[in-house]
Structure 1
């Protein structure tokens, strides 16, 4: 971790939680050095995470506990996790979007990272239920000129579904479901809370699960975007089986055992980015 002194508390705690889970435990003095904050700040953060039930405090530090299947972090908290992995995944997934095609981008921080990589792909039609994804295209494609805002040639046509906003800035519910049911996509790019052999693709939000089911049914090809920490995680509600997935784009932190399991079940596995020290253990 770099100098994160100015991070919001929620983002800093997300980084701490990621470090605890990745390493299986951390010490307070390690976190103070990595985050460049005081001992007291780290202890307050660990107290807050312990109250949420996601870490257990031990002498001099903290260890992870199993995450509740209904816990749904906000967009800002999730955006601070696995930043390099998400960028690697986004760059690899962007190669799967052909100019002039109709694609769907479901909500989440990895889908947002992918949106940044798709800004220069010409003539896309993008259907999304992510407020952040829609804003990314809108901002990039309407530069302000001397005569006012202008639409860039070849800019994507973006369709934002309506719906009820979730903590991850995703629109879900009957309005979103009806819009998605009426459309057909060449490729769906979808992030997940968790992915496993038994539960398939899952999320802690029941309404989001239903909306995601409609996305999957409306797509000719389903591409899952999931960093290595999502493998083996199970949310409250499953919305697709692995049989419904055409490709998984993940990062090099995925363990060899998980890669073998996935390769047996999916037509395509894309491992993006360089190997990173310490990754790829049995719990990765």
Structure 2
């Protein structure tokens, strides 16, 4: 094939990738007309992007992955709210029944916990996320402690030495963490080194750490590592993660709960 053909395919795939990232998801039948290409060509382009691990597929729907330094803004992640995320949130909140202090990480999935947390007895919740803190204050009567630091507009989370210093002085029962990528070889990763430092500090402040993670995050490595899989007590993910994969991750240390 000519170089011009490959160039056109590359340019088209980059436009498709931008669309998936902006919308938070893509369905073949919905966007073929948008790009004026056949469904077969679109599927081929999506498979090429999936091979590069720039997107992940689940039941015919494609989602962006936070690979390398790319990070999906929280506003776009909300568009990609799925049934998987909601059942993960319910399972996480069930773990809070007998604890008095928890840490909630930044990100869209921790925000999904806020609604179900309304039925829990009053507890102390620590978070680096201004969005999570605001929703907890609006929807619940829990005591909320906001970790200070430099605000990252992409995720509305705080980072840098103010955040890590404050977390170093705290002790919480459970830390509910998120990750942009999860790999046995590469560990838990995130695009920003400053976020990685804050996540590490949060895990060190917790008696036990629980990873809340959609199945599309597994096998993905982002830029900055903040922990090994073996440092986790639990992993909560969807049943879309195969039993074999769950067993492999569980062999590294944590109990893997597929919901």
Q: Considering the TM-score relative to the shorter chain, is it more than 0.5?
A: yes
> Aligned pair 1:186/2:177, yes or no?
no
Q: Is the 8 A contact 2:114 2:139 kept in 1?
A: no
SS of structure 1 residue aligned to 2:113 = helix
CA displacement, residues 187-217 of structure 1 (integer Å, 9 cap, x when unaligned): 0001110111011111001110000010011
How many angstroms apart in 1 are the aligned matches of 2:230 and 2:98?
A: 27
Distance 1:262 1:163, change over 3 A: same
- Residues in 1 aligned to 2:164 and 2:22: alpha-carbon distance in whole angstroms: 34
Q: How does 1:164-183 map to 2 (within 5 A)?
A: 164-166=150-152, 167-183=154-170
Q: Does the residue aligned with 1:186 lie in a helix, a strand or coil? A: strand
Corresponding position of 2:124: 125
Deviation at 1:170, TM superposition (A): 1.2
The partner residue of 1:160 within 134, 146, 157 is 146
Gaps of 5+ in 2: 1-18, 55-66
Q: Distance in 2 between matches of 1:126 and 1:59?
A: 48
Report the Cα offset of residue 118 of structure 1. Answer: 1.1
Partner of 2:96: 97
1:271 equivalenced with 2:258 (yes/no): yes
Separation of aligned partners in 1, 2:68 and 2:31:
30
Residues 43 and 199 of structure 1: CA distance in aligned 2, closer, same or farther (over 3 Å): same
Is the Cα–Cα contact under 8 Å of residues 209 and 232 in structure 2 kept in the other structure? yes
* Partner of residue 135, structure 2: 136
RMSD of Structure 2 on Structure 1 (CA): 2.3
Q: What is the CA-CA distance between 1:117 and the residue it aligns to?
A: 1.5
Residues 245-278 of structure 1: CA deviation (Å, up to 9, x unaligned):
0000000110233112022123411111xxxxxx
Q: CA separation of 1:239/1:43 partners in 2, compared to 1, >3 Å: closer, same or farther?
A: same
- Which residue number in structure 2 is paired with residue 6 of structure 1? none
Corresponding position of 1:59: 41
Equivalent residues of 1:105, 1:128 under 8 A apart: yes
Rounded Cα–Cα distance in structure 2 between residues aligned with 1:11 and 1:204: 15
Match in the other structure for 1:13: 23
State the Cα distance separating 1:120 from its structure 2 match. 2.1
Range with greater deviation from structure 2 (209-218 or 108-117): 108-117
The equivalent residue for 1:85 is 84
Please say if residues 23 and 79 of structure 2, whose CA atoms lie closer than 8 Å, have aligned partners that are also in contact. no
Residue of structure 1 in register with 2:35 after alignment: 43
**8 A Cα contact 1:82 1:227, kept in partner:** no
Per-residue deviation, 1:228: 0.3
Conservation of the 8 A alpha-carbon contact between 1:100 and 1:122: no
Matched residue, 1:240: 227
Deviations 1:30-85 (A, max 9, x none): 1159xxxxx3xx329x9xxxxxxxxxx98345312333411011001122225211
Per the TM alignment, residue 11 of structure 1 is displaced from its structure 2 partner at its CA by 7.5
Question: When the two structures are aligned, how many residues end up with a matched partner?
Answer: 222
Partner Cα distance (1:58, 1:163) in 2: 48
Which structure 1 segments of 5+ residues have no match? 1-8, 20-25, 34-38, 47-56, 142-154, 273-284
Instruction: State the 1:242 CA deviation.
Output: 1.2
Aligned with 2:175: secondary structure?
strand
Aligned partners of 2:167 and 2:202 also within 8 Å: yes
